[in-house]
């Protein structure tokens, strides 16, 4: 190995260690501030029951996706379901019938649909774009070797990519050219407070809202942030709590989607549940599904919202898409 290569490797490894150390420090510091973690003080099982008065949605359909390992879903402009899992992409019509199957050269983790029907697929540290017109896959230039693409959002000519491996959210042109890094790994700001993303596990999601601000989950801080196109944080909300109003565990919510009025749908792991929060304040508006609707170890309950504000959720254990409608 050449001297310059050894140097670059050392810098990369050293940087990763520093980022990991900072993230550990921040999580540990927050835990010390609040005393012993709630997991030590409470029997979590008592939070698995949800007050029926909060349940404002009902399940109306389940679609078997046909994957041994289902990982992500999205909806196109015609409310057709796009799902990824195993090593394939599948498209379903509005009746839940599979109408297209596309083999992929790897295991996908997420998908998003562009305005003209192209599908953006996170494949480890690569992003592929599938065209329904040509049935071809086009790959963007590779992200870093340690990248793990877990979320994609599309808005006009911009494509946003959440990379849980590098702990970044970036904005790209439609050809893949990177235009900006909107959020990066956690660090201490000048005032001693946490700045940036704390990502303790492979969950980092994003969604574009009607107000033109990108919603970014900061999972290790149990909050959702609204970012401008240049990465300025306009506002943020969320708090750690096993109670139904907050987000439980080390890193929640795992997944989000946006209703037509901008209110935010969230999904959690540990205590798997789906909720709706007021867009600006995070006030709990409704529970879509409580923990008893999922297996206890369900994680990665991906979300999408159709043109009628029906919520579609991935059941990763059963390999199904569940449709919820408001009561």
DSSP 8-class letter at 200: -
The first and second tokens of residue 215, run together, are 């919603």
Rounded Cα–Cα distance for residues 168 and 223 (Å): 16
The domain spans of the chain are 1-35, 36-326
- Report, as an integer, the average pLDDT of 285-313: 96
The whole-number pLDDT of residue 43 equals 59
Quote the percentage of the chain above a pLDDT of 70: 86
The whole-number pLDDT of residue 324 equals 98
Angle at 311 between CA 309 and CA 313, to 5 degrees: 160
- The pLDDT of residue 313 is above 60: yes
The first and second tokens of residue 74, run together, are 């999205």
Confidence band of 15 (pLDDT split at 50, 70, 90): very low
- The pLDDT of residue 266 is above 80: yes
Confidence band of 36 (pLDDT split at 50, 70, 90): very low
The whole-number pLDDT of residue 47 equals 74
The whole-number pLDDT of residue 287 equals 98
**Using only C-alpha atoms, what is the Rg of the chain?**
19
Rounded Cα–Cα distance for residues 279 and 224 (Å): 10
CA 17 to chain CA centroid, Å, is 24
pLDDT in tens, 83-111: 999 999 999 999 999 999 999 999 999 99
Confidence band of 49 (pLDDT split at 50, 70, 90): confident
The whole-number pLDDT of residue 46 equals 72
Q: With H, G, I as helix, E, B as strand and everything else as coil, classify residue 114.
A: coil
- Report, as an integer, the average pLDDT of 294-323: 97
Rounded Cα–Cα distance for residues 68 and 167 (Å): 28
Torsion from C-alpha of 214, 162, 232, 244, nearest 10 degrees: 60
36-326: CATH number? 2.120.10.30
**Under 8 Å between Cβ of 92 and 101:** no
- Report, as an integer, the average pLDDT of 47-57: 87
């Amino acid at each position: 190995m050449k001297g310059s290569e050894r140097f670059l490797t050392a810098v990369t490894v050293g940087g990763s260690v520093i980022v990991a150390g900072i993230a550990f420090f921040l999580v540990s510091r927050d835990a010390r501030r609040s005393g012993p973690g709630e997991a030590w003080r409470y029997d979590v099982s008592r939070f698995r029951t949800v007050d029926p008065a909060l349940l404002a949605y009902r399940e109306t359909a389940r679609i078997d996706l046909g994957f041994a390992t289902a990982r992500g879903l999205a909806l196109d402009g015609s409310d057709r379901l796009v799902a990824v899992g195993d090593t394939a992409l599948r498209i379903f019509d509005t009746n839940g019938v599979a109408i297209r199957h596309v083999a992929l050269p790897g295991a996908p983790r997420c998908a998003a649909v562009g305005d003209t029907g192209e599908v953006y697929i996170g494949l480890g540290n690569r992003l592929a774009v599938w065209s329904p017109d040509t049935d071809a896959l086009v790959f963007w230039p590779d992200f870093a070797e340690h990248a793990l693409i877990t979320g994609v959002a599309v808005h006009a000519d911009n494509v946003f990519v959440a990379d849980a491996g590098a702990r970044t959210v970036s904005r790209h042109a439609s050809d893949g050219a990177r235009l900006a890094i909107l959020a990066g790994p956690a660090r201490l700001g000048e005032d001693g407070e946490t700045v940036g993303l704390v990502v303790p596990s492979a969950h980092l999601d994003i969604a574009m809202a009607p107000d033109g601000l990108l919603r970014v989950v900061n999972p290790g801080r149990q909050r959702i942030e609204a970012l401008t196109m240049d990465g300025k944080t306009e506002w943020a909300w969320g708090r750690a709590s096993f109670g139904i109003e907050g987000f439980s565990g080390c890193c929640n919510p795992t997944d989000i989607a946006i209703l037509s009025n901008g209110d935010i749908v969230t999904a959690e792991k540990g205590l798997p549940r789906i909720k709706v929060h007021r867009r600006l304040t995070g006030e709990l508006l409704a529970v879509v599904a409580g923990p008893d609707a999922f297996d206890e170890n369900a994680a990665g309950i991906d979300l999408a919202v159709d043109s009628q504000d029906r919520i579609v959720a991935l059941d990763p254990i059963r390999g199904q898409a569940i449709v919820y409608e408001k009561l």
